Amino acid sequence: MIGLLSTGGAYAAFGATATADETTAVSQSTLDEGEKLFAANCATCHGAALEGTEAGPSLHGVGAASVDFQVGTGRMPMAFDGAQAERKPVQFTDEQVKALAAYVASISPGPAIPDEEYLQGDTDAANGAELFRINCAMCHNVAGAGGALTEGKFAPPLGGVAPEHIYEAMVTGPQNMPVFNDMNLSPADKADIISYLTYVDDNSSPGGFELGSLGPVAEGLFIWIFGLGAVIAITVWLTAKAN
Amino acid sequence: MSQHDDEATGSAVEAHTPREVSIGTAVANSDAVENPGLPPHRERVTDLDPRKDRQMSRRVVALFLFSILASIFAIVAYFVWPIDVSVEGFGTIRNNNMAIGIGLAFALLAIGTGVVLWGKNLMSGEEFVEQRHGTRGTDEVRAKVVKIFDDANKESGFGRRKLIRNTLFGAIAAWPLPAIFLFRDLAPAAEPHELLRHTMWDAGIRLVRDPDGTPIRAADVTIGSAFHVIPENLEEADHVLDAKAKAVVLLMRLNPAELNEREDRKDWSYDGIVAYSKICTHVGCPVALYEQHTHHLLCPCHQSQFDVANHAAVIFGPAARPLPQLPIEVDAEGYLVAKSDFTEPVGPSFWERER
Amino acid sequence: MSTSTVTPQTRGSRFTAAAANYLDERTSISGAVKELGRKIFPDHWSFMLGEVALYSFVVILLSGTFLTFFFDPSMTEVYYDGEYMPLSGIHMSVAYHSSLDLSFEVRGGLLMRQVHHWAALLFVASIGLHMLRVFFTGAFRKPREINWVIGFVLFVLAMAEGFTGYSLPDDLLSGNGLRIIDGMLKGLPVVGVWISYFLFGGEFPGVEVIPRLYVLHIMLLPAILIVTLALHMVLLIVNKHTQFAGPGRTNENVVGVPILPHFAAKAGGFFFLVFGVIMLIATFFTINPIWNYGPYDPSPVSAGTQPDWYIGFADGALRLAPPNWDVHVFGYTLPFGILVPMIALVGLLVVVAIYPFLEAWITGDKREHHIADRPRNAPTRTAIGAAGVTFYAVMWAAASSDIMATHFMLTMEGVIHTLQALLFVGPVIAYIVTKRICLGLQKKDREIALHGFESGRIVRMPGGAYIEVHEQLDEYERWRLVSYTDYAPLMIRPNAKGRITATQRARAALSRWFFEDRIVPPTKGEIEHAKEHGHH
C-alpha cells in the first residue's frame, strides 16, 4: 500500500515537473537578454507584445518548450514563407535560445522545457516503439525516415534530432503536427518514445546499409539500377569475343 | 569455320526452298542485297601466343583456388563472428551476416569468373553454324499422325457412338462441381456483408487509448490533439484483431467555430471533439495523418485526403466516401463514450453496401 | 575433333566411359546428348537476360528452402521473447516471431533472408527486361507466339510468388499490403465480399491467411512455375534461339557456339556470377527490415507504405483514380475508384499477352521468323512498346508519389495531377517520338548503306573545292543495315463474293497504321548506282 502510494506520488511529481508552467526562478538578466533578442528578431512578425501580426501568429500560451523547439532547431526565425518552416542552422547560442524561451514563457506561460530525466533514452524502448508506431509512424515512418503531408508539407526525418526537441514537439505540436499532451502520452511514454528513437539512431541495421530506410521504393530502384546494372555489365563482358 | 554436324554441310548461307507459306504484306524484293556469308575467323591472342595461353590458364587456376579460400573463409567466419546479441550487441548480427556473405559472394564470383575466362579464352573460339529445320513436322509424319487418330477413332467409335461420348463429357464436366462446395468451409458459415455492418462500438462503450486501454476524459483532449482510440471492450472480442480492424477510431478536437457539422449530426460531437473511423473508405488503410491546422486527414497508402472540419469529406485522392463518424458523448464520470455503433459500414465500398 | 578417335587410357576416362555406358543402357540418354550437346547458341548480351531470371529463380529455390526450415507460418498470437530489444514483450504472430528469430538467432539466417528477397526482386526485374528484349526485337513472332504466352504466364506467376512471399512475415508493412488487397477484393462486383471472406477465412485479418499464402508460396505456385518454366525451356530448344541479322546469319541457320563445351561454360559461369552478385548485395544492403515495421496491427501504418517494385504499378494505378467515384446501380455499389484501375491493369496485361497474335494478323505473314529485328526496323511496334512502357512507368512512378514529393520538394497533389495527365499524354508522346526516332535512324542507316559514313577526312579537290571523304562500308557491315523485312500496307480487296468485309477493313486500317511510314531497305541496284555516282 505504501509502495503504491509512493509510486503514485512519484508519478504525480513527474507529471507536475513535466507539465507545470515555468515556475523555477529565472534571473532578471536572462529575461532582459531574452526581451532584447525577442524585440530584435521576433517582434516584427509576432508583435512586440506577442500579440501576432499578419506575418506571424500570436504567441499566447506557447510557453518555453515551443520557443526552445522552434528556435533551437533553426525553424525560427523563418527564412522565407514556404509550405512550412524547415530545420536549418541555429542562429543563436544555447544561452540565447534559453533566454528567449524564458522571456516568452514569462509573458505567455505554456509547456515548459522538459526535465533531463525524460531525455536519457534508457527507458522502455519496446513500449516506445509500439507507441511510436501507433501515434507517429504514419507521418514520420516506422524508422523515423519522415514522410509527405498535403500540399508540399512534410513530416521531417527524426534521425539525429535532439531528445529535448522530440519531447517539445510532442508537447507543443509545431506546425501541423497534432499535440500529444500528457494525458495522451504521459511523460514516461514520451521518454519511452525517445528511447526507441535513440535506439534506432545508435544501432545501425543488422542487415547492412539501409538505403535511407525508405522501404520498397528504394529497394526497387536499387535492384534495377545496381543489381540489373551489374548483371548486364557481366552479360556484355560474357558475350564479347575475347581478344 | 567448321560445321557442327555432317548432314549440315555447305556454306553458312545455304539455298533453301521453304514450303510455300503466305508472306502477308511483306515485300519480296528480287533485287535485295545478298548475304555476304560469315566473315573470316579472327584468332584470339590465346590462340596465337602460347605464353598468353599459359598466363590465362594460370589466372583461371588462381581464381578457383581463391574461391576455395573464400569458401573456407565463410566457414571460419561462421565461428569467428558468432551472433551474440546479449553480450556484444546487435552489431554481431551484422558482422556475422557480412563475414559469411563476403566469403560466399567471393567464392561464387571467383568460380563464375574463372569458368567464363576458361570458356572465352581457352576453349575453342570458333563459330559454328547449325541449320534450322521448320518447326512443323514433315508431311510424311503428319500423314501418319492423321492416320493414327483416324484409326483410333474407328477402333473406339469415338465419333460414331455420340451418346456414349457426350454423356462422358457431361460426367467429366459435372465431376469438379462438388469441389466448389468443398471449399465453402474456407470461411465460417455467416453472411460476410452482414459482418461488415457492425463493429464493437455501442451506446455507452468508452473510448480508450490504443494500445493500453486508458479511458479518455473530454478535458484531456485539448485543441489540436489527436488520440488513437479503440473501444474499451475490445479484448472481449472473439478475434481481437478482426474487431480492431473495424473499430479503430481517431479522436480530434477542433475549435468548435471551425467545425462545419451536418444538421443531423450536430449532437455527434462534443464541444469540438469528433471521432472518425480510421479505416480508409478507399481500400482500408489506416487514415491517421492528422494536420492540426488544416484539419486534413491523409491516408499514407494512396493519399486520399479528408477534411475533418467538413464532416470528413473527400477532398483529394481515390477515396469515394467521407470517413464514417462515430457519434460520441460524455458519461456521468466525464469520460468519452460512443452514443451508438457507426451508422454505416466502415472501410472500403462493396457491392451490397447500400442494401 | 582429332581427339575423338583416341581410345580412353587413363583410369579417369575409363571410369567416365563405364559410367556413361551404365547410364545409357538404362536411360538411352545418348540420344538426348546427341540432340542437345552440340546445339548452337547465338551470342548477344541481351540473350542472357532470360538466364538471369532462371538463375535468380534457382537462387530463390535454394535460399527459400533454407528459410522454410526455420519459418513457422502460424498466426497464433505470442509475446516476443527474442533478442531484439525494441520488440520485447510485444504481442505478435508466430509467423512474425519466427521471421525475427531466423534473422537474429540463426547464423547466416538474415543473410539467406536477404538473398531470398533480393533475388526475388532481381527475378521479376530480369523477367521484365527479358520480355522487353523479346518484344522490341520481334522475337515473339511465329513460331514463338506460344512461348511468349508461356513466358507471360511466368511473369504473372513470378509476381504472385513475390506478393505471397512479401506477406508471409506478417509485419506491419505487408499486413497493410494485404489490407489493400482485401479492400480491392471487396470492391469487386457481386462476389467481392465473398472472395475476401474465403481468402481470409472470415473477417480480415483472421488467423488463416498467412498459412494459406504459405502453401501457395512454397508449394502450389512454385510447382506451377517450375512446370511452366520447363515448358518454356522445351519450346526454346524446339524453336531454337533467334539471332540478330549479320553476315552469314540467315533465317535458316543459327551461328554461335555449341552448348558443350563453350556455351555451357559461359552459362554455367554466369550462374555463379549472378548468384555472386545477389550474395554481394545481400551481404551489404538491408532489405525489408521487418524488425523496424513491427508486427501487424490494424491500427498503425507507416508513412511510405509501398509494395515491392513489381506490384508498384498496381498500387500506383489505385493512387491515380479521381475522388468520389462510387457508382450505384439498382442499389448496388460499384466502386469505380478501385474497378477502373483494376480494369486498366488487366487490360494492359491482356494486350501484352495477345500482342503477337495481333501483329501476326495485321501482317498476315505466316513464315517463321528467326532473325531478331533491330527495334528501329519495326518503327510502329517499337513505338507501341515505348507507349506501353510509358503507361506502365507512369503507374509505377505514381506508387512513389509521396516519396517523390518529399525528395524533390514537390506537393503530392502536384505529383499526382501531373501523373494523371501523363498517364494519357505520356504514351502518345512516347509513341510519336519513338516512331520519329526509329524512322530517322532507318533513314540514316539507308544513307550510310548507300553512301558510306563521313570519315572526318577533308580533301581539297583539284578545282579548289573541299569535300569530306565518305568511307564505304564493307559488305559485312552493310549487310547489318540492309537486311530487314519490309512490309507494305494492306490493300483492301473484295473477297470471292465481291464484298469487302468489316474485318478486312479493320485489318487494312491497322495495317496502314503500322506500315504507312516506312523506309525501304536499299537494293543491290541502288547501292551499285550510288557507288558509281560517288566515284563520278
> pLDDT tens digits, residue range B125-134?
888 999 998 8
Task: Choose from B60, B108, B222, B280 for mutation: most chain A CBs within 10 A.
Answer: B222
Residue B3, pLDDT > 80, answer no
Helix %, strand %, coil % of chain A (to 5): 55, 0, 40
The per-residue pLDDT of chain C, averaged, comes to 93
Chain B, 272 to 311: residues with Cβ < 8 Å from chain A are 286, 288-294, 296, 298, 300, 305
Answer whether A77's CB lies under 8 Å from A84's CB. Answer: no
Q: Is A106 on the interface with B (CB under 8 A)?
A: no
What pLDDT, on the 0 to 100 scale, is given for residue B12?
Answer: 52
Burial B78-117 (b: 16+ CB within 10 A, else e): beebebebeeeebebbbbbbbbbbbbbbbbbbbbbbbbbb
Exposed/middle/buried for A219, CB within 10 Å: 0-12, 13-18, 19+?
Answer: buried
What is d(CA A132, CA A118) in angstroms, rounded to the nearest whole number? 16
What is d(CA A87, CA A67) in angstroms, rounded to the nearest whole number? 14
Which of C261, C315, C479 has its CB closest to that of B35?
Answer: C479
What residues contact B184, with CB distance under 8 A and at least 6 apart?
none
Minimum mean pLDDT range among A11-25, C54-68, C142-156: A11-25
- Select from B260, B202, B254 the least CA-distant residue to B231: B202
What is d(CA B168, CA C269) in angstroms, rounded to the nearest whole number? 53
Chain B, 46 to 75: residues with Cβ < 8 Å from chain A are 46
What is d(CA C392, CA C427) in angstroms, rounded to the nearest whole number? 9
Which pTM was predicted?
Answer: 0.93
Render pLDDT for A14-55 as a digit per residue (tens, 0 to 9). 333 444 444 456 788 888 899 999 988 888 889 888 888 888
C-alpha A235: how far from its chain's center? Answer: 48
The pLDDT confidence band at residue B13, using thresholds 50, 70 and 90, is: low
What pLDDT, on the 0 to 100 scale, is given for residue B18?
Answer: 53
Q: Is C495 on the interface with A (CB under 8 A)?
A: no
Provide the shortest C-alpha distance from residue B83 to chain A (in Å).
11
Note whether A21-111 and A115-203 share their fold: yes
What is d(CA A43, CA A46) in angstroms, rounded to the nearest whole number? 5
What residues contact B67, with CB distance under 8 A and at least 6 apart?
B106, B107, B108, B110, B111, B114
Is A16 labelled a binding residue? no
What is d(CA B325, CA A12) in angstroms, rounded to the nearest whole number? 35
Q: Is B111 on the interface with A (CB under 8 A)?
A: no
What is d(CA C33, CA C44) in angstroms, rounded to the nearest whole number? 24
Q: Which subunits sit against A, judged by 3+ Cβ pairs under 8 A?
A: B, C
CA atoms within a 13 Å half-sphere pointing along the CA-CB vector of C71: 25
Residue A78, pLDDT > 90, answer no
CA atoms within a 13 Å half-sphere pointing along the CA-CB vector of C155: 21
Summarize the confidence of residues B189-212 as an average pLDDT: 93
Q: Is B175 on the interface with A (CB under 8 A)?
A: no
Render pLDDT for A197-213 as a digit per residue (tens, 0 to 9). 999 998 888 999 988 88
Residues of chain B with C-beta less than 8 angstroms from the C-beta of C337: 282, 318-320
**Radius of gyration over every alpha carbon of chain A, rounded to an integer in angstroms:** 23
DSSP reduced 3-state for B90: coil
The dotted CATH code for B207-338 is 2.102.10.10
Q: The C-alpha cell of C114 is what?
A: 536477404
Summarize the confidence of residues C285-293 as an average pLDDT: 95
Render pLDDT for B76-125 as a digit per residue (tens, 0 to 9). 999 999 888 877 778 899 999 999 999 999 999 999 999 999 999 999 88
CATH level 2 (architecture), domain A115-203: Orthogonal Bundle (1.10)
The pLDDT confidence band at residue C468, using thresholds 50, 70 and 90, is: confident
The most distant pair of C-alpha atoms in chain B lies apart, rounded to whole Å, by 102
Taking an 8 Å cut-off on Cβ atoms, the answer to whether C180 and B301 are in contact is: yes
Domain annotation for chain C: domains and CATH numbers: 1-36 (no CATH), 45-243+258-316 (1.20.810.10), 438-535 (no CATH)
Residue B9, pLDDT > 60, answer no
What is d(CA B271, CA B184) in angstroms, rounded to the nearest whole number? 49
Taking an 8 Å cut-off on Cβ atoms, the answer to whether B222 and A149 are in contact is: no
Render pLDDT for B300-328 as a digit per residue (tens, 0 to 9). 999 999 999 999 999 999 999 999 999 99
What pLDDT, on the 0 to 100 scale, is given for residue A15?
Answer: 39
Render pLDDT for A111-137 as a digit per residue (tens, 0 to 9). 999 999 999 999 999 999 999 999 999
What pLDDT, on the 0 to 100 scale, is given for residue C2?
Answer: 43
Share of chain B above pLDDT 70, in %: 95
Is A165 labelled a binding residue? no
Taking an 8 Å cut-off on Cβ atoms, the answer to whether A183 and B296 are in contact is: no
Which of A129, A137, A224 has its CB closest to that of C125?
Answer: A224
- Select from C256, C251, C264, C223 the least CA-distant residue to C51: C264
Burial A7-45 (b: 16+ CB within 10 A, else e): eeeeeeebeebbbeebeeebeeebbebbbebbeebbbeb
What pLDDT, on the 0 to 100 scale, is given for residue B6?
Answer: 40
Exposed/middle/buried for B181, CB within 10 Å: 0-12, 13-18, 19+?
Answer: exposed
Exposed/middle/buried for C324, CB within 10 Å: 0-12, 13-18, 19+?
Answer: middle
- Select from C137, C154, C148 the least CA-distant residue to C236: C148
Q: Which alpha helices (H) appear in C7-144, and where do they start and end?
A: 11-27, 29-36, 49-68, 94-104, 109-136
What pLDDT, on the 0 to 100 scale, is given for residue A47?
Answer: 87
DSSP reduced 3-state for B325: strand
DSSP reduced 3-state for B261: coil
Residue A8, pLDDT > 70, answer no
Taking an 8 Å cut-off on Cβ atoms, the answer to whether B248 and C486 are in contact is: no
- Select from B279, B29, B214, B351 the least CA-distant residue to C524: B29
Residue C229, pLDDT > 80, answer yes
Answer whether C114's CB lies under 8 Å from C286's CB. Answer: yes
Minimum mean pLDDT range among A161-175, C129-143, C482-496: C482-496
Q: Other CB atoms closer than 10 Å to residue C504's CB: what's the count?
A: 15
Render pLDDT for C302-329 as a digit per residue (tens, 0 to 9). 998 999 999 999 999 999 999 999 999 9
Q: Is B352 on the interface with C (CB under 8 A)?
A: yes
- Select from A230, B67, B114, A238 the least CA-distant residue to C281: A230
What pLDDT, on the 0 to 100 scale, is given for residue C6?
Answer: 52
The per-residue pLDDT of chain B, averaged, comes to 91
The residue ranges of every structural domain in chain A are 21-111, 115-203, 216-243
Provide the shortest C-alpha distance from residue C306 to chain A (in Å).
6
What is d(CA C453, CA A58) in angstroms, rounded to the nearest whole number? 74
Answer whether A181's CB lies under 8 Å from B222's CB. Answer: yes
Summarize the confidence of residues B52-80 as an average pLDDT: 96
What pLDDT, on the 0 to 100 scale, is given for residue C448?
Answer: 92
Share of chain A above pLDDT 90, in %: 55
Summarize the confidence of residues C119-148 as an average pLDDT: 97
Q: Tell me which chain A residue has its CA closest to the CA of residue B287.
A: A138
The per-residue pLDDT of chain A, averaged, comes to 86
What pLDDT, on the 0 to 100 scale, is given for residue A20?
Answer: 43
Taking an 8 Å cut-off on Cβ atoms, the answer to whether C303 and A208 are in contact is: no
Share of chain B above pLDDT 90, in %: 76
The pLDDT confidence band at residue C13, using thresholds 50, 70 and 90, is: confident
What residues contact A206, with CB distance under 8 A and at least 6 apart?
B90, B91, B93, B94, B97, C103, C104, C110, C286, C291
The pLDDT confidence band at residue C172, using thresholds 50, 70 and 90, is: very high
CATH level 2 (architecture), domain A21-111: Orthogonal Bundle (1.10)
What pLDDT, on the 0 to 100 scale, is given for residue A24?
Answer: 53
Q: The C-alpha cell of C331 is what?
A: 442499389
Summarize the confidence of residues A170-176 as an average pLDDT: 92
Q: The C-alpha cell of C266 is what?
A: 559461359
Render pLDDT for B15-44 as a digit per residue (tens, 0 to 9). 455 567 888 889 888 888 889 999 998 899
Render pLDDT for C367-377 as a digit per residue (tens, 0 to 9). 999 999 999 99
Residue B11, pLDDT > 70, answer no
ipTM above 0.95, yes or no: no
Which residues share a beta bridge with C468?
C458
DSSP reduced 3-state for C247: coil
Answer whether B200's CB lies under 8 Å from A164's CB. Answer: no
Summarize the confidence of residues C8-18 as an average pLDDT: 83
